[in-house]
Amino acid sequence: MKNNITIQLDNELLDHLASAVKEAVKEEIPKMKDSFQKEWLTTEDVMEMLSCSRRTVQNYRDEGKIPFTQEGRKILYPRNGIEQFLSDNMIKAYR
């Protein structure tokens, strides 16, 4: 035996419910992004983060400006090292 329940919602309650769901999702998205971030980045990821070319990433690596690990031809960069590089090279506003 199957019981069906029907609930009638007026527009005001429906709008309030939709607003509450949107707010809850908006609060959770930043938390979800943090948990999905990769700990180790590829050269392509670093190029995107720094808005630079592959050659520039290689220069930063060769000059010891950014940390990396290498196994054979595979090169990976720790996310926190790249974020630290960005922080260290940030120019403060004058005013």
How confident is the prediction along the chain (95 residues), in pLDDT tens digits per residue?
A: 678 887 777 888 888 888 888 888 887 776 666 556 789 999 999 999 999 999 999 999 999 999 999 999 999 999 999 999 999 999 888 87
Which residues are CB-neighbours of 77 under 8 A, at least 6 positions away? Answer: 40, 41, 42, 43, 45, 46, 66, 67, 68, 69
pTM for the structure as a whole: 0.61
3-state secondary structure of 71: strand
pLDDT at 33: 61
pLDDT at 63: 97
User: Cα 16 to the chain's mean position, in Å?
Assistant: 30
